[in-house]
Structure 1
Amino acid sequence: MRVLVVIHSIYALIGITANLLLLITIIKTRNSGLKSYAVIIFNAACVDTVEILLDVFEIPRSFGPELCYRVHLVMLHLIFHSLYLIAFSFWYRYTVLVKPAPEWYTVQIIMIILFLPNALPMIFSLFAMDNPEKSQEILTIFYPNMDVNSTTYRSVNFSDPYSAPTDYSAIFGPFLVYPFIVIMRRKVICLLKLDPDLLSQALTYHAILPSTICVGIFSFYFQLIGIRSPIIDGMIFIFGCIPAVFNPLLTMYFVAPYRRF
């Protein structure tokens, strides 16, 4: 488990630094001509920064299981909102090739609407009716050496009306959104007739990045079929947090105005 803490700490160092640098770069280059696309990048960087900060908050487990549990739920939904923003950015790239770019306020309204499918389940999940004693009994069976009194955990109850929306969106949502990203990438490349140049590489790397969220979800499927270990449990968020850490680095490298800055 110490290895997982080290990995999350490295994520925090790289991710917070990269996202803050990206936010500063966007502000300093607001006259770069990117206009409404910069609004998407700015929102994504803000979401990723908060996501990583919440992850850091969770690592020490020094604030009590209850508070860490609430923080964990918010972080989980920000991971998925980050995925939706990446999908939206690919839709935007395709849209501006076939019609005039939407105004920045239109882009912002769309992103707010995209946040609602995450915001509502997140609010509901805060009232989830988990039975702590029952959850502790289950954890003790599978992980007899775990200190359940100082560990943040949550159960998955598909029949709980408060937590079920979160659980279903978590295990199915990424596999619905990611194919959309792949399709949009393909459409943009075909429309521009791109050869393997820098722009094509940018689209490819940005499309591959959110696939790590799907890989993390597979760790949860392992649990469902009875394959369990603390490492597998931790892999869910080790992979799930990758886009928040590396997306700003890819953006600063591949987006020309930011790279020149």
Structure 2
Amino acid sequence: MPFLFVTFHSILSVIGCILNGMLCHVAMWKSPTVIKTYSIITVNFAITNLAICFVNFVLQMRMIPIEKTIIFVSYGPCQWLNNGICFDLYSVLVHVYTHTIWLLFISFLYRYYVMVKSEPTKTKVKLLLLLIYLPSFIQMILLFFEFTDPSELLRIQETLVPQYILRGLMVFGIADSTSFNAMFSIIHVAVMSTPIVMCIVVLRKKILKKMTFKGVAVNSNTRSLQLQLLRALTFQALIPCFYLIGVVSYFISRLEIYRDPFFEYLIFSAFLFVPVLTPISAFTFVTPYRKWLLKTFHLKIQKVESGRFETREETHDTRVQSNQTNK
């Protein structure tokens, strides 16, 4: 199982780094004017997910919750470093995971806001992103102080789950996860995702209602791009399900419902789908990004219908391509 785990994490982490690196570039330099302000959020998404994939590649962790104790075993390059560095990287990894959830919420909130009010300035968007980053940043700082001596962790493990042989492996973790610092992180990751997803569902319905409301003055270009972004965000709204899989696996092990290494490996394996699927949604549903990707790799451009809100430019491009094909 460790071999399959390492292979899975290595491949997905590398793919995630490549996809998010490309998304960061295209969002920063190739975004059309109509979504230039929103692209600031996309760039934050890409940078955050890139950090997740890189740190995950270095760590490749298995989580072993044992009563109040949480033990991590690293199978990645971190195993050749020291326990303190690995633990600090874990703190960084968890904080960027929580930040992605907040970014997803802000993405939907932004789309609704521009439907009912004028588009905010870039300065306001950047200040908002800084504000929502603070809880994750505080979480990371608090976790830095929860490092436990590995010998203490191994003593607890050998007492409570002696069937595991962890000596000789890169082990780090938290001896008492009921402390304030650790509980802040657990609640932030495991509890907050549910109300955020509920808010996203509500915001999505409101956006759809506004987009079909005749009284909203939105030109066809803007409306089409908004619809494309909404489709991408709707797909992204399904992504937190992978958080749920990881959280459920955590509680299955933590509550001793069923003790099996499979669930311990699954916790962070399920989380890893999030930073990989997010850029895929952007390249699939946002036309300017999709066209850039296809052009960059010299692939045939396939027009994706955007319903009755498609832009005149897209329609014109399609006719030109069709005429060229007939010739």
Q: Work out whether the TM-score is over 0.5.
A: yes
Moved more, 18-27 or 165-174: 165-174
The normalised TM-score by structure 1 is 0.90
1:144 aligned residue (140, 151, 163): 163
2:180 counterpart (135, 145, 161): 161
Task: In structure 2, list runs of 5 or more residues that go unmatched.
Answer: 60-75, 214-226, 293-327
Distance 1:123 1:235 in 2: 26
Are residues 187 and 40 of structure 1, via their aligned partners in 2, closer, same or farther at CA, if it must alter by over 3 Å? same
Please state if 1:229 is matched with 2:260. Answer: yes
Superposition TM-score, scaled by structure 2 size:
0.73
* Greater share of residues in strand: 2
State whether structure 2 residue 137 is matched by structure 1 residue 119: yes
Quote the Cα distance in structure 2 between the aligned partners of 1:163 and 1:228.
Answer: 22
Asked if 1:243 is matched to 2:274, the reply is yes
Asked if 1:91 corresponds to 2:109, the answer is: yes
Distance 1:152 1:187 in 2: 47
**TM-aligned CA deviation for residue 143 of structure 1:** 5.6
Change over 3 Å in CA distance of 1:106–1:143 after alignment to 2: farther
Structure number with higher helix proportion = 1
Aligned counterparts of 2:136 and 2:128: Cα–Cα separation in 1: 14
- Secondary structure at the aligned position of 1:45 is classed as helix
Is residue 2:229 matched to residue 1:210?
no
Give how far 1:181 is off: 1.9
Distance 1:57 1:9 in 2: 9
Question: Does 2:93 match 1:75?
Answer: yes
Determine the structure 2 residue equivalent to 1:192: 211
C-alpha displacement of 1:86: 0.9
Distance in 1 (alpha carbons) for counterparts of 2:167 and 2:105: 37
Rounded Cα–Cα distance in structure 2 between residues aligned with 1:164 and 1:98:
38
Say which one has the larger Rg: 2
Q: 1:102-160 CA distances to partner (integer Å, 9 max, x unpaired)?
A: 11111111011101111112101101163543421232342634324423442363442
- Matched residues, number: 259
CA contact (8 A) 2:101 2:193 kept: yes
Give the equivalent residue in structure 2 for 1:178: 197
Residue of structure 2 aligned with 1:64, choices 78, 82, 99: 82
* SS of structure 1 residue aligned to 2:34: coil
State the match for 2:285 in structure 1.
254
Letter in 1 for 2:120: P
CA-based RMSD of the aligned residues comes to 2.2
Unaligned runs of 5+ in 1: none
Give the whole-Å Cα distance in 2 for the aligned partners of 1:146 and 1:32: 57
1:87, distance to aligned residue in structure 2 (A): 1.1
Partner of 2:25: 24
Which stretch has the larger CA shift, 69-78 or 198-207? 198-207
1:232–1:156 distance in 2 versus 1, CA, 3 Å:
farther
Higher relative contact order (CA closer than 8 Å, sequence separation 6+): 1
Q: Is the 8 A contact 1:66 1:152 kept in 2?
A: no
Q: CA 1:203–1:52 in structure 2 vs 1: closer, same or farther (change >3 Å)?
A: closer
Paired with 1:10 and 1:186, the residues of 2 have a C-alpha distance of 36
